[in-house]
């Protein structure tokens, strides 16, 4: 299945990118440098990374084999659509889109430290370039700014939007906390793992899909319908992400091959495989329980065992189920037809993507 | 000079402690455990640390030779006073006090990681007990919750208070960023160092002194007067803290002896000494420029050189100047006399403290 970038993603990048760049400009120089690098707005020394695309948050230098930064404009696109769903101009969704992007990037900055990830978006992660302390601080600054961007509008809607974002942030943190805790356990259930993914990924996606409408004063029923759509689409996104974390091509994903197995992540395909109760599941469990790092051959074997134990098929099926549920939520929500079609297009794109 | 804990500090602990504990209860179990430990609400395994004082945020186990947790209730006391300054009952300052405490503790959790500090409040720091990732997350959760606590009140005052807190958080982050950057430099000026301290410490103290009044709808003039008082008192606090970081008794401060010199911190006494242009200043600069860790004897020598180059005297004098400026701001602000007296008492206590 080929994945065509929905038109709304490009539009969102053009509308939200400059506002995000302006928001980051408010940081102190030491903090701004790290944030700008992480967002692909600047190279390690603060210079823009090349003339073409450099001014765009998506324009990461050295991107190879995929549309530059398409992934990063997904949430903004959803948030602008969310404003349009409530019959507002997409421009009115920009503050909420900036806030969601700031939260998303705060979590990437901090997660990369916690997970020890050294590469993201085809570049060295911020903590490897500037040190752990500077990367923690840049994430902190983004998190704090996200709330403030929404509160520039001191109306009740501004407060509702800020609180919706807060709730998503707390779930995101709970999910990452569970993810970290899972690494120390060998008895994680598929239910726990789905809850974790719902918190870690789907909560912010759900927020991205609804906060634009909340911020322009949509009726609760509409916002809740969009939030439900986003929750299902977000789970489909994470299921796809977990498949790519094992079987994705590193030159496309921008992460090392089989990176999730390398880090012994209790990702959904792995936990589904471990729960299968087959000989392959037991062999996989024994392999992942080993103290020492796994060799490249062992990582390949682990990937084969996940597949043989049914972890890949389960994950693909569950992604399909979540995608179908997302479409059902869309159909049940009273929004303009063109907006519904664009939401649906992004949901399809999310699960068909290769990165 | 003996430092008597102002009565308001005890009252604040009783009013704000339970609200802070309740706020932390909203975190997911993995995150809550770390936050509760950091706040002294629980031991490493989640149990309360002993019957006496265990339910209080200040009741850290193993505290020796100082009033348990007195330091931690300073900001809440200032915030409750700030509400009273605007003729509101102290209880109405509780949400703002909780928000300020959450921000303060977020910054302690993250700073301990960045600075590699292994002991705080006479206990191992959270990152040494639970790991860096879990400590980063607990800090993140506190930062996000701080804003949300204020927005439970969806009035314009709630938004103003949240934005005042955001501004303080951004300055706090800028200050910590500068502090980290200073460690890589040997040409930090005293002006830069004072700006850093103003951002890192005084901004949140200034917020603590004014946010209670903002949250209850005080006139801007009053809030600005209290903010100015807090900015000066906060600088006096940091100057005192820097003196204790070199000459404080470890059994009282809860930190290793001469910890700031050990970490080669560009603290105010050190930078003042380095700026003196004397033979002692040059000897100190040479000592601090050494690659290898300093021995205990060398740390003692460094402390003596800071004093001989005038760094101790300068810092003591500057603390006195800031304290006087704080008193002047108080005198110029139209608040009830008993509130003014309590603010003044806390400012005196801050600079006379031994911890």
- Alpha helices, DSSP H only, in chain B? 7-24, 29-38, 74-85, 94-115, 126-130, 132-151, 156-182, 190-197, 203-215, 220-247, 250-253, 259-262, 268-274, 279-288, 296-308, 311-332, 337-352
In chain B, what residues touch A180 (CB-CB under 8 Å)?
Answer: 30, 131, 133-134, 137
Phi-psi region of A255 (alpha: psi -120 to 50; beta: other; left: phi over 0): beta
Q: Is B175 within 8 Å of B196 (Cβ atoms)?
A: yes
Q: How many domains does chain B have?
A: 1
Computed from CA positions of residues A290, A292, A294, A297, in that sequence, does the dihedral angle turn out positive or negative?
negative
Query: Is pLDDT above 90 for B135?
Result: yes
Residue B248 sits in a domain of what CATH number?
1.10.600.10
Taking residues A186-208, report their average pLDDT. 96
Structure tokens at A320: 């399909």
Query: Which residues of chain B neighbour A148 with C-beta distances below 8 Å?
Result: 162-163, 166-167, 170
Residues of chain B whose beta carbon is less than 8 angstroms from a beta carbon of chain A are 26-28, 30-31, 106, 110, 113-115, 131-134, 136-137, 139-141, 143-145, 147-148, 151, 154, 156, 158-160, 162-163, 166-167, 169-170, 173-174, 176-178, 180-181, 199
Beta-bridged to residue A120, according to DSSP, are A123
Nearest beta carbon to residue A180 from set B26, B133, B199: B133
The confidence score (pLDDT) of residue B312 equals 97
pLDDT for residue A110 is more than 80: yes
Contact B132, B25 (CB under 8 A): no
Among the partner residues B131, B143, B156, nearest to A140 by beta-carbon distance: B143
Q: Is residue B207 part of a domain?
A: yes
Task: Give the H or E element holding residue A180.
Answer: helix A156-182
User: Which pair of tokens denotes residue A242?
Assistant: 């977990």
Which of B114, B133, B148 lies nearest to residue A166, judging by beta carbons?
Answer: B148
Report pLDDT for A1. 47
Rounded to whole angstroms, the maximal C-alpha distance in chain B is: 60
Cα-flanking dihedrals φ and ψ of residue A123, to 5°? -135, 160
Quick check: A28 and B174 CB within 8 A?
yes
Q: Is residue A349 over pLDDT 80?
A: yes
Q: Identify the closest residue of chain A to B157 by CA–CA distance.
A: A154
What whole-number percentage of chain B has pLDDT above 70? 91
Indicate the length of chain B as a whole number.
355
At residue B89, does pLDDT exceed 90? Answer: yes
Q: Give the domain extent around A132.
A: 7-352
Per-residue confidence band for A255, with pLDDT thresholds at 50, 70 and 90: confident
User: Which H or E element spans position A165?
Assistant: helix A156-182
The answer to whether position A2 is within a domain reads no
| Range scoring the smallest mean pLDDT among B178-192, B242-256, B289-303 | B242-256
Instruction: Give dist(CA B27, CA A169) in Å, integer.
Output: 11
What mean pLDDT is predicted for residues B299-305?
A: 96
> Has residue B177 been placed in a domain?
yes
Q: Are B266 and B285 in contact (CB under 8 A)?
A: no
Residue B238 near residue B307 (C-beta atoms within 8 A):
no
Q: Minimal CA–CA distance to A248: which of A321, A347, A171, A315?
A: A315
Q: Is residue B2 part of a domain?
A: no
Going by C-beta distance under 8 Å and a sequence separation of 6 or more, which residues neighbour residue B290?
none
- DSSP run (H or E) holding A296: helix A296-308
- The angle that helices A156-182 and B29-38 make with each other, rounded to 10 degrees, is 90
pLDDT > 70? residue B296: yes
Place of tokens 């948030």: A79
Residues of chain A in contact with residue B27, where contact means CB-CB under 8 angstroms, are 170, 173-174
Residue B1 has pLDDT above 80, yes or no: no
pLDDT of A65 > 60? The answer is no
A-chain CB neighbours of B114 within 8 Å are 132-133, 136-137
Q: How many beta-carbon pairs below 8 A join chains A and B?
A: 141
pLDDT digits (tens, 9 = 90+) for A114-154: 988 898 888 999 999 999 999 999 999 999 999 999 999 88
Q: What mean pLDDT comes out for the span A72-93?
A: 94
Please determine, for residue A58, whether its predicted confidence score (pLDDT) is greater than 70: no
The pTM for the full model equals 0.91
| Residue B1 within a domain | no
Please give the Cα distance from B316 to B320 (Å, whole number): 6
Predicted confidence band at B355 (pLDDT cuts at 50, 70, 90)?
A: low
Name the pLDDT band for B134 (thresholds 50, 70, 90): very high
Eight-class DSSP state of A200: I
Domain-embedded: residue A132: yes
Taken in order B70, B72, B78, B80, is the CA torsion positive or negative? negative
Dist. CA B355–CA B344, nearest whole Å? 19
Distance CA A111, CA B68 (A): 35
Q: Among all chains, which residue has been given the structure tokens 């629980």? A: B42
Q: What is the pLDDT at residue A6? A: 79
Contact A28 B133 (CB under 8 A): no
* Number of other residues whose CB lies within 10 A of the CB of residue A200: 22
Q: Do A113 and B136 touch (CB under 8 A)?
A: yes
Q: Taking 60 as the threshold, does the pLDDT of residue B59 lie above it?
A: no
* pLDDT higher than 70, residue B71: no
């Amino acid at each position: 299945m080929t994945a065509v970038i929905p038109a709304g993603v490009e539009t969102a990048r053009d509308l939200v990118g400059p506002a995000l760049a302006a928001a980051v400009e408010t940081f102190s120089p030491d903090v701004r440098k790290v944030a700008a690098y992480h967002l692909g707005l600047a190279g390690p020394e603060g210079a823009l990374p090349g003339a073409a695309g450099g001014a765009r948050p998506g324009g990461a230098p050295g991107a190879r084999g995929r549309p530059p930064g398409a992934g990063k404009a997904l949430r903004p696109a959803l948030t602008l659509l969310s404003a349009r769903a409530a019959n507002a101009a997409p421009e009115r969704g920009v503050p909420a889109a900036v806030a969601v992007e700031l939260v998303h990037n705060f979590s990437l900055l901090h997660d990369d430290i916690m997970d020890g990830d050294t590469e993201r978006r085809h570049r060295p992660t911020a903590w490897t370039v500037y040190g752990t302390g500077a990367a923690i601080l840049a994430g902190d600054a983004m998190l704090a700014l996200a709330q403030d961007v929404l509160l520039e509008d001191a109306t009740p809607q501004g407060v509702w939007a800020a609180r919706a974002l807060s709730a998503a942030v707390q779930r995101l943190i709970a999910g990452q906390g569970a993810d970290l805790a899972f690494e120390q356990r060998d008895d994680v259930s598929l239910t726990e793992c789905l809850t974790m993914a719902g918190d870690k990924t789907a909560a912010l996606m759900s927020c991205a899909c609804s906060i634009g409408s909340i911020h322009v004063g949509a009726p609760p029923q509409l916002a809740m319908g969009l939030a439900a759509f986003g929750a299902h689409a977000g789970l489909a996104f994470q299921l796809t992400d977990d498949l790519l974390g094992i079987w994705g091509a590193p030159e496309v994903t921008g992460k090392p091959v089989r990176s999730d197995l390398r880090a012994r992540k209790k990702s959904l395909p792995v936990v589904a495989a471990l729960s299968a109760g087959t000989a392959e599941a037991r062999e996989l469990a024994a392999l992942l329980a080993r103290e020492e790092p796994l060799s490249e051959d062992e990582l390949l074997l682990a990937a084969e065992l996940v597949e043989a134990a049914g972890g890949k098929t389960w994950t693909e099926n569950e992604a399909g189920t979540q995608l179908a549920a997302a479409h059902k939520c869309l159909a049940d929500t009273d929004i303009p037809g063109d907006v519904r079609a664009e939401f649906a297009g992004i949901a399809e794109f999310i699960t068909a993507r290769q990165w």
